[in-house]
Amino acid sequence: MNSDKSNHHHSIQVQYLMEKIEKQQIAKPYSIVYPIGDDGVYTVSKGSNTGVTGLDVSPYQEKTNYFDQYSGNLIAQVGYNDYGILKKWFTWGIPLHGGHLFGWPNKLINVLVCIGFLVVLFLGVKTWLSRKKNGRISAPPKVSTGVSISFIMFFILLGVIMPLFGVYLFFILIVEAIICLINRKRINV
């Protein structure tokens, strides 16, 4: 049992905790999460994706600190440099995707990407409608089986930038390869 707990029967005041935070040279903005239970700790967090206006910091400044609820002493600290490669990736990716990594230019880029997706969606439906057989609900005739190198490189780049999307594309590639193999065996039989 912690000797500080035996001397105190209640948690320290937030004002005292803030003095301890200042001594650790943790600059604002940060959020404080109160301890839960007798064994809980104060969690002081600086996040790059807090979801709260005014609390977001650069991913390099992201840090979570744990303070003893009875003494106010720093127990542990985890920061950007302690993260693994995937956590670092998400620390940059989520605020970039949310549009608050680098201000209004980030928001503008996100709007342009959304408009681009809507245009591609609209053009896809328009192309499908223009190629289908008149008066019938049907799939349009097959036009080309070739795929350009630039198309492949674009999707490889997207897969690297967005790893989960890359895994999804890889899964689709495997399914398509299996379907092609099955179709070739049916044709050869």
Looking at the 3D structure of the chain, how many domains does it have? 3
Residue predicted with more confidence, 50 or 30:
30
Residue 95 forms part of a structural domain: no
pLDDT value at residue 189: 63
Are 35 and 107 contained in the same domain? no
What is the pTM assigned to this prediction? 0.60
User: Does residue 171 form part of some domain?
Assistant: yes
> Does residue 56 sit in the same domain as residue 66?
yes
pLDDT for residue 6: 45
In a domain, 122, yes or no: yes
Residue 112 lies in a domain: yes
133 shares its domain with 120: yes
Q: Is residue 97 part of a domain?
A: no
- In this structure, the answer to whether residues 148 and 127 fall within a common structural domain is no
Question: Does residue 129 surpass a pLDDT of 50?
Answer: yes
Same-domain check for residues 31 and 81 = yes
Separation of alpha carbons 164 and 104, rounded Å: 26
Inside any domain, residue 123: yes
Asked whether residue 134 falls in the same domain as residue 156, the answer is no
Does residue 113 fall inside a structural domain?
A: yes
Q: Are residues 30 and 76 in the same domain?
A: yes
**28 neighbors 34 (Cβ within 8 angstroms):** no
Using the 3D structure, point to which of 125, 143, 161 is the last residue of a domain.
Answer: 143
The whole-angstrom separation of Cα 157 and Cα 162 is 8
pLDDT by residue (tens digit) across 33-56? 999 988 999 999 988 877 676 777
| Structural domain range at position 158 | 144-189
Q: How far is 79 from 188, CA to CA, in rounded Å?
A: 59
